[in-house]
Structure 1
Amino acid sequence: MTSNVAEPPKAGTSAAVVAPASPTTTPGIVLEASGITKAYRRGMWPARRRTPVLRGVDLELAAGEVVGLVGENGSGKSTLMKILVGDLAADTGTITRDGRIGYCPQEPVVYERLTCDEHFELFGRAYGLTEHAERASRARIYAQLGFDRCATTRADRLSGGTLSKLNLGLALLADPEVLLLDEPYAGFDFDTYLKFWNLVAQRRQAGRSVLIISHFVTDEERFDRIVQLRDGRAVPR
């Protein structure tokens, strides 16, 4: 596979990614995946078998577009998301994109002994942000998601919902052109859920793009379009 998506920074493992811009995307398209395939080997040797998960996925994300990615359990949604961000290698296919990528994985990847502030400082350095830019972005994220009171709280002492806010905040820190979110509002209360969608609407208005794995049919009207993974391929819903 050829890909121009960078490996995640070592400081943050798979929680967020920043990479240099690609000059090869189609005008107006910020993320383009073509012919993505992935199979896993399952079972015990010598009876191990190769099980295809993605069978040639094609997907485009335009500037200022909010797209939902849906599918049954085991359809390959999280696998595709990890491939798009560079956290997992595809068997075949190409990925091109224009701008920085922020990634919010389904399971938060944090350091238990670090506070929220310390996480933002660490990721800010991994992104190459100046101290002023990191602090300004951090303050904005605290205000948008409403967890500034937890700034000095260690990650292992956060509630599940606040941990989800930190997970999302780290992906937002560098104001990426493309935001990839794997079930980002798991654990959010209703107030935070509404704040999340306000944040998404603001990013759309600013020309930023968001791809969200979602299982809530009631969210459908919030997306510009929805793509379903079915039989290993991406189809319009």
Structure 2
Amino acid sequence: MAAFGRWKAQRLARADASRKGALDERAAPVVRLLNGRARFCTTSSCAGRLVLAQGGAAMTALEKATGDVVFKFEPFVLHVLCRELQDAQLLHSVAIDSGFKNSGITVGRGGKIMMAVRSTHCLEVPLSHMGKLMVSEEYIEFLIHVANRKMEENTRRIDRFYKCLRLALEADSANNSPSEETEKYHSVYVHRRKRKTIQEQDVHTSPKDHSEELEPEDDPDSNLGIFAETMM
């Protein structure tokens, strides 16, 4: 408990190291809601973005491309440090129910419990190779239309996640004893884990490892994946 409080204080005291230097407006309500609770601390977030990239650098117009150009849509992502595993489980269930099907939990050897809220409706399409345009202008317009539709759905999921999370957190009792809503989400989480384990035993396969984006001081190789579910 004390260690988590220290980690949270250190994290919130840091300056925003992102290029933007501030929270995305769309992600801000969720981030503030979580950081306002003693058991959660957000470590990184992105509300979603459309990117036209040449290599690793952004470009202002496709006609200026000289190398390989890729068009990307990246949905909402949020990483949250949780005080206890049951807190991460609650957050995970809310995320899954809100449409973020690629969400998962990792636990580091140092005891840090990280919950990643992620979605699967990404888009990544190559447009040119070695300066040569590989698609038509009409297709580019189509891609923009598809990406905008995905961004609209991304916004709806963020709003749904915020509303469901607020209701789940408000349902907690003042003395921190598990409320009916907390028990509901914990029960759903345990049920999913049991069902997934049974399915894995039936087909004699091992769960696929999913790496999570952790704090800079964490060693990704030292983390134990507790849960990561992917649905296309």
- TM more than 0.5: no
The structure where helix makes up a greater share of residues is: 2
**Structure that is richer in strand per residue:** 1
Taking CA–CA contacts closer than 8 Å with sequence separation of 6 or more, which of the two structures ends up with the larger relative contact order?
1
TM-score of the aligned structures, taking structure 1 as reference length: 0.25
Structure with larger Rg: 2
Q: TM-score, normalised by structure 2?
A: 0.26
